[in-house]
Amino acid sequence: MKFNVMLMQLMAGMFTSVQIFILTLLFSLPLGLLVALGRMSKNKILRAVVKFYIAIMRGTPLMLQLIVVYFAPFYLFSVKLKNFRFPAIIIAFSINYAAYFAEIYRGGIEAIPKGQYEAAKVLGYSKVQTFLRIIMPQVIRIILPSVTNETITLVKDTSLAFVLAQAEMFTIAKQIAAKQASVGPLMVAGLFYFVFNYVVAFIMEKIEKRLNYY
């Protein structure tokens, strides 16, 4: 197989990996915030349910969660969904990473001094205004390094999509490597992941410096 053909195939797989990465962040970051708020709720039942959810998501392999999400509609409701493979991947990745992001959010929120809530109340801010205008900007600045670490991990975890036979980059690299009996395609895939991670880390570092400036 010519190098340019192999490169085109890997690029197609890379596009799928990037899709998984972007969609997972798009859904898991806001979901993680909602989960964090539920984890900190004064309602004991809600807090217990959310705590259990986080424990399950963090205590079981993502690979297992992918399988469960994909086969759950059939085994629970006897419904076989068409073209459900990619949505199942996004759902599994999103609920998994939301649990991790929730704990990161919670740590950031709890790091804010209680006096700031009291000062905002004295100034006439509502609870929602206090959270959105005063607390959340500080939380984002605090949690950004931890979010960056999880984001970089997500780049590498996209390769787990192979569990549901989704042809992302690493799966395609393995197929080409097996066909050619060569580790070359795997090395190229590794380089792609490295560049992808470098770009993500660079962007996150720029965001962090900008937030620190303000």
What's the structural domain count of the chain?
1
Within a domain: 201: no
Within a domain: 203: no
Q: State the burial class of residue 50 (Cβ atoms within 10 Å of its Cβ: 0-12, 13-18, 19+).
A: buried
pTM exceeds cut of 0.75: yes
Q: Is 61 within 8 Å of 47 (Cβ atoms)? A: no
What was the pLDDT predicted at 131? 86
CATH assignment at residue 105 = 1.10.3720.10
Within a domain: 163: yes
Within a domain: 12: no
Structure tokens at 138: 């500080």
Q: What is the pLDDT of residues 124-157, one digit of tens each?
A: 888 888 888 888 988 998 999 999 999 999 998 9
Positive/negative CA dihedral, 149, 24, 52, 163: negative
* Phi and psi angles of residue 79, each rounded to the nearest 5 degrees, phi first: -115, 125
Q: What is the pLDDT of residues 18-73, one digit of tens each?
A: 999 999 999 999 999 999 999 999 999 999 999 999 999 999 999 999 999 999 88
Higher pLDDT, 150 or 175: 150
Within a domain: 97: yes
Q: Is 32 within 8 Å of 101 (Cβ atoms)? A: yes
What was the pLDDT predicted at 204? 87
Within a domain: 86: yes
Within a domain: 207: no
Mean pLDDT value across the chain: 88
Structure tokens at 164: 């549901």
Q: Which residues contact 187 (CB under 8 A, 6 or more apart)?
A: none
Within a domain: 53: yes
* Amino acid at the residue 42: K
Residue 161's domain comprises 17-167
Give the closest residue to 1 by CA, choosing from 191, 193, 192, 173: 173
